[in-house]
Structure 1
Amino acid sequence: MTPSPASSASPDTGPVPIVPDVWQLPFPVGHVYLVRLSDGGFAAVDTGVPGSAPAILEAVHRLAGKPDALRQIVLTHSHVDHMGSAADLVAATGARVLAGAADAPAVSGTAPEPPPVLTAAEAPLLEQVQSGMAEAGTPPLKHVRVDVELHDGDILDGWPGPAHVLHVPGHTPGSTALHLPAAGVLFTGDLIGTGPDGGRVVLGPFNVDREVAVASFRRLAALPGVDTLCVPHGIPVRTGAARALAAATPETDWL
């Protein structure tokens, strides 16, 4: 999770196909996922750190033929490596911003970001991440208006199959996951990450309430028919996600 000093806003590669109509844009910190919508436009799940917008727009251009095909920005939560480029993307494309209702004030800047409660193992990692972003010259965060506040049980239409909204608090108060049952795809937000080889599924660090985060993790692990995990940190689990989730031990991660 340590960002490259060169630029935490530079993707490691172009858009990588995950399943039909879903691509990953890998970044050193905070991957972005692009989803083709039924109208030919695109949705972005998260936006990377500040300064990532040009790379995201270039990826949309490569996939759609024009960068302003971005229609939606779904923020899984309010941390800087997820909402960091939302304001710039909205300015460039007019895309609508969707975020969990409890995180909307932090996204818009009307309330402070609640701090994480760090374990002993998480404290040096967070310092490492923050130092790396500073060394990379990450621009200041710009807040952005939330056009649609998401709640548990909402369904996003116009996606490649209905996208079910799950409120999964613990990492932040309004953390949100998206489940596409027809495709067997789960966008986890930072509640779930993977190890260096993508084989082990772990609880994400830096939670505001670890116990609640573990309960939310277990809720996602119990979803039926999940085969692919689109994680923001680590390597996506392209197949066999249900087995990886069943084998996970979030209660003991990051201690």
Structure 2
Amino acid sequence: MIVPRSKFQITRVDAGSSTAYLVHSDAVNWILLQEGSDITLIDGGYPGQASAVEESIRHIGARPEDIRGALLTHAHVDHLGGLATLQARYGFDVYMDPVEVAHAKREYLQQAGPADIVPIAYKPRVIRWLALVTPLGVLSRKGIPEAKPFPEPLDLPGRPVPVAAHGHTDGHSAYLAADGAVLVSGDALVSGHPISAIAGPQCISNAFQHDVDTARRTVEAFADLDATTLFPGHGPQYDGGVATAARRALEVS
């Protein structure tokens, strides 16, 4: 199912008593896992997209107050920004790979800065991307002071399972959802990006990678997964199998 919206599109994968939704926007994606009336939110867009995240939750018949906990793939502003706003507003816990906690608290920052962007800033696609994301809060340095490592066990609606996916940041995490049918890949593996001319599975631009070699090894590991659907951090849902997506990304990136 594809639901067109002014700010986003929603696609879904059903698995038993739960449903996984990819909310795809031109700037970045976030994911909703719904089980009964309860919601797990994975990532939350830019700071300026917090209201769009709320709207997407209402669109699937739930309320932001139904969020029982959130997961973060990594602490870049386009994934953490809206989540920080919503966590402060609704008070749910936000969990992530233990390595990423200090990053989310902004004790340090592993994020593309001017030195990374200036060399490519002349490109038309980069200019358009900057025009898109600057009003959304790309320059924000706000973190999540209450960021927490995964609890043991991780018991959240939709039963997400963390998958170590380091490289894009030191503590980047992917998640298996929908009984293992869906890989929520964050920026470890994407299916498009505003600055990329490639359509389909790919590794995100090296300008955004903290550790390119480790990030490629993560994608190599994805080639061993059985998940059939990719919910990426950027780009549309990909249904050709995650292993196939990973191999194609390594070929073109």
Q: TM-score, normalised by structure 1?
A: 0.79
Q: Which moved more, 1:199-208 or 1:229-238?
A: 199-208
Tell me if the contact between 1:48 and 1:82 (Cα under 8 Å) persists in the aligned partners: yes
Specify which of 7, 12, 15 is matched with residue 11 of structure 1. 7
- SS of aligned partner of 1:47: coil
Match of 1:144 in 2: 144
Matched with 2:3 is: none
Preserved contact between residue 68 and residue 92 of structure 1 (Cα < 8 Å): no
1:219 paired with 2:204, answer no
8 Å Cα contact 1:71/1:94 also seen in 2: no
Report the CA distance shift for 1:53/1:188 in structure 2 as closer, same or farther (over 3 A): same
Cα-to-partner distance string for 1:13-43 (whole Å, 9 max, x where unaligned): 4x432444111222221111111146x2111
> Which consecutive residues of structure 1, in runs of 5 or more, have no partner in the other structure?
1-9
Taking the TM superposition and a 5 Å limit, the aligned residue runs for 1:194-233 are: 194-195=191-192, 200-205=200-205, 206-223=208-225, 225-233=226-234
- Code of the aligned partner of 1:101: P
- Residue of structure 2 in register with 1:240 after alignment: 241
2:154 to 123, 143, 156: 156
In structure 2, C-alpha distance between the alignment counterparts of 1:243 and 1:199, rounded to whole Å: 15
Deviation at 1:195, TM superposition (A): 4.1
Q: Deviations over 1:101-121 (max 9, x none)?
A: 222222112223354896999
After superposition, give the CA deviation of every residue in 1:177-223 in whole Å (9 maximum; x if it has no partner): 11237341101110101148997311122211111110011111212
Q: Root-mean-square deviation (CA), in Å? A: 3.1
Residues in 1 aligned to 2:76 and 2:224: alpha-carbon distance in whole angstroms:
26
What amino acid sits opposite 2:107 in the alignment?
T
> Is 1:192 equivalent to 2:189 in the alignment?
yes
- Count of residues in correspondence between the two structures: 236
Structure 1 residue 127 displacement after superposition = 6.1
Q: Is 1:72 the counterpart of 2:74 in the alignment?
A: no
8 Å contact from structure 1 (residues 104, 146) kept in 2: no
| 1:34 corresponds to 2:32 | yes
Matched to 1:210, the amino acid is V
Structure 1 residue 141: Cα displacement: 4.3
Question: Residues 161 and 176 of structure 2 are in contact (CA less than 8 Å); yes or no, is this contact kept in structure 1?
Answer: yes
- Alpha-carbon spacing, 1:218–1:18, altered in 2? closer, same or farther (3 Å): same
Aligned residue for 1:90? 87
Aligned equivalent of 1:5: none
Paired residues of 2:68 and 2:156 also in contact (CA < 8 A) = no
CA distance in 1, matches of 2:160, 2:119: 35
What is the distance in 1 between the residues matched to 2:62 and 2:118?
A: 47
Aligned mate of 1:60, from 57, 60, 65: 57
Residue identity matched to 1:238: D
1:32–1:45 CA contact under 8 A, matched in 2? yes
Structure 1: how far apart are the matches of 2:228 and 2:238? 8
For 1:49-69, what per-residue CA distance to the aligned partner results, in whole angstroms no more than 9, with x for missing partners?
Answer: 112111211222233443211
Distance 1:235 1:155 in 2: 31
Identity among equivalent pairs (%): 22
For 2:8, the aligned partner's letter is: D
Q: Say whether residues 1:46 and 2:48 are aligned partners.
A: no
Match of 1:108 in 2: 105
Separation (CA, whole Å) in 2 of partners of 1:215 and 1:252: 15
- SS of the residue aligned with 1:16? strand
Structure 2 residue identity aligned to 1:22: A
SS in 1 for 2:187: helix
Question: Compared with structure 1, are the counterparts of its residues 243 and 137 closer, same or farther at alpha carbon in structure 2 (3 Å cutoff)?
Answer: closer
Q: Please give the alpha-carbon distance, in whole angstroms, between the structure 1 residues aligned to 2:44 and 2:136.
A: 17
> Contact (CA 8 Å) 1:11, 1:25: kept in 2 or not?
no
Query: Which ranges of structure 2 fall in alignment gaps of 5 or more residues?
Result: 1-5
